[in-house]
Each structure stands twice: as structure tokens, then as C-alpha cells.
Structure 1
Amino acid sequence: MAEYLAKSNNSLSFEVTQGDQLIGKLTYGSWFNFNAIAEIANVTYQIEPKGFWGTTIELKDHEKVLLKFRMNWNGEIVVQTYFNGIKNGFLFKHRGIFKESFVLTDQEGIELLVMKPNLKWSTLNYEYDITTSDAFETFPDKEIVLINALHCANYYMSMMMSAII
């Protein structure tokens, strides 16, 4: 089990840390835009919507798709990874109302990580406390999945806010 913190310095960028160690960054180009740049260990990945409606989001290393996700009809986000030619599936979902959190599970429903959002009223920026399972910590590409989970949480909250407005 490991603890991470995703902290927003402004409304367009997040840094994910474990203790004092920087794990990666997620930077958006503008508000309400799902295009982003993920930086992990000095490697830059592009995150961009695909398709006519832009409902599928892809994370790419240059032109190679490493991960993609889309929201299904009941508000859960289906995540597919393609690391080293191996396809894996995950489910990212919102849990709770008053003590809300986000959960990433594998195909068997086993929780891999839990993200708890905290709105900092003084700056109106979000922070996420992230707890991962021992199984998640063994993933070779866990940093990419971790940064993508942050993007999924932001995507979910943006989609829910647009549904309210």
C-alpha cells in the first residue's frame, strides 16, 4: 500500500508526489478541454479526445496509443491499457456523495486505488489523496495509470458539472 498526493497549483496543472518525490505532472491546455500533457520521468505523453464527439480519450507516446478510456452509460469510466502489447481493462468509478471518492478496479472488481478529492477553498483548487493497493504497486507502468486516474477524476467532475449546468 502506498500514499500519493495530487495537488493543483492552478486550475490547469497538477503534480503527483509520493512524500517529497515527484511522480509526474498533468497539464491541461485550457479549461473544459480534455487535451493534456502527462510528464512522467522526463517522458511526455499526449492525452487527447478521439472520434467525432470526442468521447474516447487516448494517452499516447508519440503516435502509439498506450491507454484509452470512455465513460459508459452509467457514469463509470472504462479504461483499457496496451502496455507492451498486452491489453488490460479497468473500471474507474465515483463512490459516495458526502464522503466521495473515486475507485479504480481491475476486471475482477478488486480495488487498486482510491482517490479522495479535497477542494481547497482558499485557492479553489483540488487536491486528491490517493491510496494504492499492494497489487497496484507491482504494475510496471503504474505511474501512467496513476496520472491517468487523475485525468479520469477531472474528466468525471467536468462531465458531471456540464450535466448540471
Structure 2
Amino acid sequence: MAEYQAKSSNSLSFEITKEDQLTGKITYNSWFRFDAVIEMADHKNYQVEPKGFWGTTIELKDGDRVLLKFRMNWNGEIVVQTYFDGIKDSFVFKHRGIFKDSFVLTDKIGTELLVMKPHFKWNSLNYEYQITTSENFENYTNKEILLLTSLHCANYYMSTMVVV
């Protein structure tokens, strides 16, 4: 298990840290848009872009290569498909609870990999997230990309719920 913090200095940029060490950063181009840049601690950048006519599928790319894509399904869950090292894998990101508001990332058989709890900061009008990961998650090779994508999924979910 590990604990991460996701904090926003403004509504367009979030940093994820673990024990005050930067894991990565996501920066959005503008409000109510889903394209962004993910920058890892080693300064490797990935592009996040909406695809399709309605922009309902979001892709994470390394140059022209699609590493991951996700889209919200009919019941409000976000299905994440990864293509790391040529191997396809699937995850589900979903909102859990009304009073115990949190997000959960599970693998394809339903094993909980991370729990993300949002906290709204009234003084800055931004969300922060406390993220707890499982030992299984910590053993993933590309866990940092999956962690930042989960943050993007949480922001995506929050923005679609505001619009509805």
C-alpha cells in the first residue's frame, strides 16, 4: 500500500506526490476541455486527447503511439484500456458512494487497485485528492501513468457531472 496526494495550484494543473516526491503532473489546456499534457517526474511527456466526433473517447499518446484510452459507459463507469508493451489490459474507474464520496480503480476481475478521495478546497476553489493504492497496483510496471490517468478520469467525471 502507498499514499499519494494530488494537489492543484490552479484549476488547470495537478501534481501527484508521494512522501513529498513528485510522481507526475497533469496540465490542462483550458477549462472544460479534456486535452492535456502529462509530465512524469523524469520529464517524459504524454499527450491526452479526445477522439471521435463527440470527443467521448480520450487517448493517451506517446508521440503517435496510443498507450491508453478510456471512455465513460452508459452506467457512469469509465472503462480504461491500456496497450503497454503491446499487451492489452482493461480497468474500470468508477464513482463510489454519495456520503463517502470516492473513486475506485479496479482491474478486469474487480480487484480494487486504488481509492481516490476528493476534497474541495474552498479557499482556492480547487479539488485535491488523497490516493491510496494497493500492493497489486504498486507492482504494475506503468503505475505512474495509470495513476495520472486515474486523476484525469476523476477530473473528467467531476466535469461531466457539473455539466449534466
TM-score band w.r.t. shorter chain: over 0.9
Deviations 1:14-72 (A, max 9, x none): 00000110000000000000000000121000000001110000000000000000000
Dislocated runs of 4+, deviation >6 Å: none
Which residue number corresponds to residue 20 of structure 2? Answer: 20
Unpaired runs of 5+ residues, structure 2, are none
Q: Which residue of 2 aligns with 1:39?
A: 39
Q: Which amino acid aligns with 2:133?
A: T
SS at match of 1:84: helix
Equivalent residue of 1:139, what SS? coil
Match of 2:141 in 1: 140
2: CA distance, partners of 1:93 / 1:140 = 22
Report the counterpart of residue 106 of structure 2 in structure 1.
Answer: 105
User: Which residue pairs with 2:68 in the alignment?
Assistant: 67
Q: What is the CA–CA distance in structure 1 between the aligned matches of 2:104 and 2:88, rounded to whole Å?
A: 20
Counterpart Cα distance in 2 of 1:122 and 1:49:
31
The CA distance in 1 between the partners of 2:96 and 2:137, in whole Å, is 19
Q: Classify the secondary structure of the residue corresponding to 1:158.
A: helix
For residue 93 of structure 2, give the secondary structure of its aligned residue in structure 1: strand
Q: CA deviation at 1:98?
A: 1.5
Show the counterpart of 2:88. Answer: 87
Letter in 1 for 2:17: T
Distance (whole Å) between structure 1 residues aligned to residue 126 and residue 53 of structure 2: 31
Which whole-Å CA distance do the structure 2 matches of 1:7 and 1:141 have between them? Answer: 21
Query: d(CA) in 2 for partners of 1:123 and 1:83?
Result: 36
| 2:39 partner letter | E
Count of aligned pairs: 163
C-alpha displacement at 1:99, in angstroms? Answer: 1.6
Amino acid at match of 2:140: F
SS in 2 for 1:147: helix
Other-structure match for 1:160: 161
- Percent identity between the aligned chains? 71
Post-superposition offset of 1:157 = 0.6
**1:140, CA displacement in angstroms?**
0.5
Q: Deviations over 1:84-124 (max 9, x none)?
A: 00000000000011220000000110000000000011111
Q: Secondary structure at the match of 1:22?
A: strand
Unaligned runs of 5+ residues in structure 1 are none
Counterparts of 1:52 and 1:143, CA distance in 2: 29
Residue 116 in structure 1 maps to residue 126 in structure 2: no
RMSD: 0.4
